Amino acid sequence: MIGRIIVGYDGSELAREAFNYALTLAQATGAGVEVIHAIEPIPPAVIIDPAMGFDAGPAMVSMHEASAEERRWATDALAELQREGEAQGVAITTRIEFGRLVPLLCDTAGAGDLVAVGHKGRFHSGGIGSTTRSLVEHAPCPVLIVSAPTRPIIRVVTIFNGAAPAKKAIAFADAVAKEAGWPHAVLAVEGPSLSKEESAERAAELAPDASVSPMCEKELHDHGVLSEHAVATDGFALVVMGAYAKSRLQDLLFGGATSKYLKDVAAPVALVH
């Protein structure tokens, strides 16, 4: 059960797609949506030395004007999102805050929430990047990463290997699937102490109503099996996986191959720790 979906909105195209997915999930689960835009502080370009006779006044005025302009833009943009959401029967709240977006999202979210962000904009720098890694590691709830234009969600797919984050992921995915009435498929791979067959048995115990398929992790990625399960002609799956360190999945998500990997999969990916 998702209590609330919190969207980090920076005006980028994929932030808008993250909002669209938030509406889809809210309509399916009854969750509310909160949209947050952060006016982030601008670091000074130079260290000002009074002995140099540099007048900081114009620079400070310029920064103030830029912040005021951004607030005016954000007020209009969030009002438009609010109108759109409410027209679709979703309760929408919006906030404009001054500060860093990741800490704001982490401080706002609770354990029963879902944070949704676009893969690009402030969240894209060499793979997913250190900003989103920090968000995934510190948010008290799952984080949804959107990397492609919105399509209907038609099922939930969980990657499971028996590790603790994967157990949380399968519980989250199963709850969402049941609440939304979507089919749930589990791709069970070998884990730290489990074979793929043992992982499949454990997954079946944790999600008895889901279909479970054992497979090798190498097959899952190298042969495009995940893409086949995540993308169909009539919509995408919500892909759910545990966010845990020192795994091939983590390397793919946070390494240099991230952009290509998420682009190939295309479907929205929820990371649970």
Give the pTM. Answer: 0.87
DSSP letters for 122-169 = GG-SSTT-HHHHHHHHH-SS-EEEE-S----EEEEEEEE-SSHHHHHH
pLDDT in tens, 80-134: 999 999 999 999 999 999 999 999 999 999 999 999 999 764 544 434 556 777 8
- Contact of 188 with 200, CB cutoff 8 Å: yes
pLDDT given at position 58:
53
The dihedral over CA atoms of 122, 231, 173, 89, expressed in degrees to the nearest 10, equals 70
Model confidence at 192, in pLDDT bands (50, 70, 90)? confident
Q: How does residue 55 score in pLDDT terms, banded at 50, 70 and 90?
A: low
pLDDT confidence of residue 261 = 54
Could you report the per-residue pLDDT of 197-254, keeping only the tens digit for each? 999 999 999 999 999 999 987 787 776 788 888 988 889 999 998 886 545 555 545 4
Yes or no: say if 239 and 226 are a contact pair by the CB < 8 Å rule.
yes
- The pLDDT tens digits for 174-189 are 999 999 999 999 999 9
Q: Where are the domains of the chain?
A: 4-42+69-146, 153-272
Q: Which of 109, 107, 139, 108 is nearest to 123 (CA)?
A: 139
As a whole number of Å, the CA-based R_g of the chain is 20
Q: Please state the length of the chain.
A: 273
* pLDDT value of residue 130: 63
CA distance 171 to 189: 17
Do the strands 4-8 and 114-118 form a parallel or antiparallel pair, or are they unpaired? parallel
CATH of 4-42+69-146, one of 3.40.50.2300, 1.10.260.40, 3.40.50.620, 3.40.50.150: 3.40.50.620
Q: Which CATH architecture has domain 153-272?
A: 3-Layer(aba) Sandwich (3.40)
CATH topology of 4-42+69-146 equal to that of 153-272?
yes
- Which residue bears the tokens 């990371």? 271
